């Protein structure tokens, strides 16, 4: 049985979240397409919010 690949937009969001958790700059977004870039930045913003609230200990 073949494994199904994850949706590219959800992957972009996840990668943005991971970048935000470790404190990377939003300027380092690897996506050029506007929709994928938007998803990445959304994940990044979510992670920054989680860090500021104290959900993440780093």
Residue 43, in any domain of the structure: yes
Cα 36 to Cα 16, 20, 51, 57, distances in angstroms: 10, 16, 23, 28
Distance CA 6, CA 28 (A): 22
Q: Which residue segment(s) compose the domain that 49 sits in?
A: 32-58
Kindly state whether residue 50 falls inside one of the protein's structural domains.
yes
Within-domain flag for 2: no
Number of domains in the chain: 1
Q: Minimal CA–CA distance to 24: which of 6, 51, 54, 2?
A: 51
1 CB burial (10 A radius; 0-12, 13-18, 19+): exposed
Asked if pLDDT for residue 1 goes beyond 90, the answer is no
pLDDT, tens only, 13-58: 999 999 999 999 999 999 999 999 999 999 999 999 999 888 776 5
Task: Tell me if 58 is assigned to some domain.
Answer: yes
DSSP3 helix / strand / coil % (the chain, rounded to 5): 65, 0, 35
């Amino acid at each position: 049985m073949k494994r199904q690949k994850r949706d590219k937009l959800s992957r972009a969001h996840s990668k943005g979240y991971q970048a935000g958790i470790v404190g990377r700059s939003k300027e380092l977004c690897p996506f050029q397409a506007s929709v994928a870039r938007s998803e990445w930045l959304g994940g990044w913003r979510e992670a920054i919010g989680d860090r500021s609230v104290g959900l993440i200990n780093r």
